[in-house]
Structures are given as C-alpha cells and as structure tokens.
Structure 1
Amino acid sequence: MKRLGRMAAIGFCALWAGARPAAAERLDVFVSIPPQAYLVERIGREHVEVALMVQAGQDPHTFEPSPRQMMALADARLYLKIGMPFETRLLEKIEGAYARLSVVDMAAGVQKRMMEPHHHQEGQHGEGADEDDDEEERAEPDPHVWLSPPLLEVMARNTARALAEADPANVAEYEENLEELIEDIERTHARVQEVLAPCRGRAFYTFHPAFGYFGDAYGLRQVAVEAEGKSPTPRQLTELIGRARREGVNIIFVQPQFDRRAAQSVADGIGGAVVPMDPLARDVLANLETMAAQVEAALR
C-alpha cells in the first residue's frame, strides 16, 4: 500500500507539473555593440535575451560577423542597429532572408555630427587645400551617439518602443523600466556636468574621433590624431604636435581596440603620455563618469 501511495503521489506531481504553463519565451534581440546591450538589458530585463555582435576588445570599424552569428540571427526577433559601418553590409546580406527579424534604428531621431575628416588648421590654404575640401564633403556620420546622455535618452526610448511592439504583453514593465533608466541617465548627466564644468571650452586629444558627442554634451573640443580611420601624414602629425604643445596638452586618449603607435608619436612629441579610454564599455552610465574623471584629470 505504501508503495502504491508513493506511486500515486509521483503521478500526481507529474500531472501537476505538466499542467503548469511553460516559462514565458524570451525575446531574442541582437545588437551591434556593448553599450546597446546595456540599454536593452536595463529595459527588457528578464523578458529579453540579448546577443552581441562586436565582443569586448573587438574593433567595430573592421568587424565582420561570424557564420555562427549569421545563423543565430535567423532565430532573432529584433536587430537594433546604431549606425556602425559593418551594419550596412550585414543588413544587405540578411534583407529578405530572415522572415522573423525586424530591424530597428536605435538612433532614430538623433541629429548626427560628422566625423572630423582631416587635421589641417583653420585658414590653411595652398597646395592640398582642394583635396582637403573634397575630404570634408565625403565625411561620414559619427556613429558614437551613446556617449551623450541626452542622445542616450533618445536611444532608450527607441529601444523601449521596439521591445513593446515586439512583445506587447510586457509593455507596462518596459515603460516602468524605461522611466527608471531615464532617471539614472539624467543623474549621471548632472554628475558629469559638475565634474567637467571647470573644463568648458578646453580641448582634449584622442587617437580615434570617437568622443565628439561627449565633447559636445559638456562644452569640450575633441582633437583627433586619426581622421576617419586613417593615420595622419607626417605633415599632419607635425602640425598636431605643434598644436598640442601650444595648448599645453600632455595626455592622448586611445581606445583599447586600436593600435596606439600614432598616438604614441604625438605623446612622445609633446613629452606626454597615452592613456586608454574605452567608448565601448558595456555599462555606459558608469563609463561616462569614468571618462569624465579621466578628461578632468588630463585638463587639470
């Protein structure tokens, strides 16, 4: 009898477990870079499964998706793009081939600045000036929009809207999480403003021109060693070193994903140092405060 009782109890438990509703299916979302993943995770939380194209340490400007990533895209519901160069090639490949996949521009509505295309000083004329003007016309939009808190708010709202459209059952949670995130963005913005207030109008030097939106948000001027993915010519390097000396610059910021030799040449020329500063850190809010502290220390 005891054996029969145990078997009946086991059978009842099995029936009860089978009657329970299955765990809610997560929304599969692909993003290009780590800061996007942070936003999606903050808003979607347990309702999303975020897959990342560009992994930590990889350069998004030279990135190409792996075959495994292309296969995984077939099961995704959303791809949130942001304007990185590789996205154009990627979306051309998958257009019409992935029936379930919706592509949404996370930076929709953002007025993008242009990448600095060259290094010549204001008022420079003569040989090569026309060529520089042609380069100016070919300048590409700057994709690094997540480094400005006001633009980060736009991206967060676009993200919440995309998640709600793909998963309307959880729209109330997405809206609540969005408002919490917006409050955190605004608090971060206020703290960074306070840190960088004494630096307004000053120039900070970087290797790659990734920090223009950050500079715009806080009244700073970014001066880049590199121009649109190209290292400076010897003449441009000489001009840059002279300018840095006149402005009292002794720190050149460089992304960990980049070769630092050109930046080191400028640093050596001014008797300064190369300091890593990562625009692609996943926790973008913490990173904005880290960047602010680095820039303030460099300009102190």
Structure 2
Amino acid sequence: MFRLFVSLLLSACALSAQAEVRLLTSIKPLQLIAAAVQDGAGQPDVLLPPGASPHQYALRPSDVRRVREADLFYWVGPDLESFLPRVLQGRDKPSVALQGEAGMTLRHFEAPHDEHGEDDHEHEHEHEHDHDHRPGSLDVHLWLLPANARVIAARMAADLAAADPANAARYQANLKAFEGRLEQLDARLKARMAKVASKPFFVFHEAFDYFEAAYGLRHAGVFSVASEVQPGARHVAAMRERLQKAGPSCVFNEPPVRPRLADTLSAGLPVRLAELDALGLAAPVAANGYETLLQNLGDGLAGCLEAL
C-alpha cells in the first residue's frame, strides 16, 4: 500500500512538472523577453534556429507541429515572418502578432536623405534584401526599443497568468524585476551613448533605427548591397567617397558573416569595422538575456565610436 501511495505521489508530481505553459516565440529576441517573465516557472522555446532568416524561413513538419501545439505563441507579425500566417490558421490557441499590440511604438522607413539632400543608401540592386525597406514600410525590428520590450513583457505576463493562475504572482514579480533591470540599463546606455552621438557610423543593414532613436544616435548611411554579388568598381568608389568625406568612422555589419565588401571599402581609410547583433545570438536564454542583447549592442556601438 505504501509503495502504491509513493507511486501515485510521484506520478502526480510528474504530471505537475509537465504542466508548465508551453510558450513558443518565432525569433530569439522575443524568447529572451519571455524567459525573463517565465523565469522559475518554465522555459520558453523558439521556432527559428540561430542564424535563420525570419523573412524567408521554410518550416519543417516538426516546426508546424510545434506552432500548433504551443499553449502561447508570439511573433512580430506578417511584415516580418511572412511564412507564418498560413500556418497559424490551423491554431486554436492564443497567437499574438506583436506589431499590432496596443501600446507598441512602431517606426516606418523614411525616404533616405543625408544632410546634403543626397540618398544616404548605396544600392547595388533594388531587391537585394529579403524584407521590405521601402519608404513607408514598417521597420520590423521593434524589439530593439526598450519601451516596446516592456509592452511585450506585460502582455506575456498577463497571458501566462491567465493560462497558469497558480503562478500568476510569480509572473507579475518577474515582470516588475524585468522592468526594474531595464530601467537601470536604459539610464546607463543613455549616459554612455550621449558621449558618442556626434560620431559618424554606417551600417550594412538598416536594422537598428529603434535602438538609435532610443539613445539619440543616427547612422550616417546604409551600404545596402547583395552579400552574394560583388558590386562594380564605380559603385565601390562612390561608397568609398562617402567614407572619405565622413573621416574617422565605424562601419557595422551583423553576424555571423562580414560582407566581403567591408574590407574593400575600408582599406586605407580611418574606418573601424565591427559587428552589431540585432537578434541576440550571443545572449543567454535566461532572465537577463534581453538586457544582454541591449548591452551587447551598446558595447558594440559605443566601443567602436569611442575608439575613433
């Protein structure tokens, strides 16, 4: 009888351990925010593997099952993960497209002009990107604004509490702790970025406008070229001329691969090359993972600009 009681007790504990909310996000930055809210009550999962493009990802049958079986699913929206709407039609559980969440601050791409009225993008092809950067289109990198991260975390905390009332107090406490850490980090980043705001930098991908807006920065130009195509000599000369006019500056690319063009453009010029990781590839999936993503961006930007 005692062995039966122990067996039933262990079975009940096993069922309880399996009852945590299955939270799935499309991309890692959203997973990092979820990890802060779910800390101690579960571990969020992510759909896309590291380095995969959220714009043109081919779902496997196992991915489709994960999407349909998750208790809660969060994605940026159809402007980023265009492959998801059809799959989500088969879901009967909550799915949240965060680009439509109340309280989010959204940015749209403007017609690019520098201070001289010239186009600040150097394009080799009209369609070199796998997502839309045309004037008026939504800038989908919305997780890079700390204020948006707070909105996302609050929505996740409310949804988790509804799905798991027994841990509602924990989710709320985690949310408050996340907001407190983010407030402190925000203040530190603002103080550091203020010292380098006047220094010029260029990017290969216009992915950081939300972060720049939060901290008073503005890139001097975007070198938007297809990574698999080497631009012609005249085009390279035009881009090098822009760098020459800027003087000492930084040029940032995103990991994991530096464009071949970067070394060609910077050769012999007072230009420093560095990486900025918008997707938090190096950040741990932990309570402080999102802050690590922001801190790494701040360190990358300021570290390079401070050295000019």
Alignment TM class, shorter chain as reference:
0.7 to 0.9
Per-residue Cα deviation, 1:218-268 (whole angstroms, up to 9, x for no partner): 111123212799989656654443232222244311111455123333323
In 2: Cα distance, 1:46 partner to 1:198 partner: 38
Moved more, 68-77 or 155-164: 155-164
**Deviation of 1:189 (Å):** 0.6
**Deviation of 1:285 (Å):** 0.9
Equivalent runs, 1:231-242 vs 2, <5 Å: 237-242=236-241
Q: What is the one-letter code of the residue matched to 1:251?
A: C
What residue in structure 2 maps to residue 5 of structure 1? none
Higher-Rg structure is 1
Indicate yes or no: 2:71 matched with 1:77: yes
Partners of 2:108 and 2:135 within 8 A in 1: no
SS at match of 2:22: strand
What residue in structure 2 maps to residue 10 of structure 1? 3
**Deviation of 1:157 (Å):** 1.6
In 1: Cα distance, 2:254 partner to 2:216 partner: 21
What residue in structure 2 maps to residue 278 of structure 1? 277
SS at match of 1:104: strand
In 2: Cα distance, 1:41 partner to 1:188 partner: 18
Indicate yes or no: 2:132 matched with 1:141: no
Partners of 1:209 and 1:227 within 8 A in 2: no
What residue in structure 2 maps to residue 247 of structure 1? 246
What residue in structure 2 maps to residue 221 of structure 1? 218
In 1: Cα distance, 2:254 partner to 2:134 partner: 26
Per-residue Cα deviation, 1:111-157 (whole angstroms, up to 9, x for no partner): 322246657774349xxxxxx9xx98654211112222222222222
**Deviation of 1:9 (Å):** 4.5
**Deviation of 1:202 (Å):** 3.4
Q: Percent identity?
A: 24
Stretches of structure 2 that go unaligned for 5 or more consecutive residues are 120-125, 127-131, 284-288
Q: What is the one-letter code of the residue matched to 1:160?
A: A
* Runs of 4+ with >6 A deviation: 227-233
What residue in structure 2 maps to residue 294 of structure 1? 300
Indicate yes or no: 2:99 matched with 1:102: no
Q: What is the one-letter code of the residue matched to 1:226?
A: S
Moved more, 258-267 or 102-111: 258-267
SS at match of 2:36: helix
Partners of 1:78 and 1:102 within 8 A in 2: yes
Partners of 1:104 and 1:162 within 8 A in 2: no
Find the partner of 2:15 among 19, 22, 39.
Answer: 22
Indicate yes or no: 2:61 matched with 1:63: no
In 1: Cα distance, 2:86 partner to 2:227 partner: 22
Q: What is the one-letter code of the residue matched to 1:248?
A: G
The total of aligned residue pairs comes to 283
TM-score normalised per structure 2? 0.78
Moved more, 240-249 or 176-185: 240-249
Indicate yes or no: 2:199 matched with 1:202: yes
Equivalent runs, 1:117-196 vs 2, <5 Å: 122-124=116-118, 138-196=135-193
TM-score normalised per structure 1? 0.80
Q: What is the one-letter code of the residue matched to 2:15?
A: A
Q: What is the one-letter code of the residue matched to 1:179?
A: K
In 2: Cα distance, 1:231 partner to 1:104 partner: 37
Seen in structure 2, the aligned counterparts of structure 1 residues 102 and 245 have a Cα distance that, compared at 3 Å, is: same
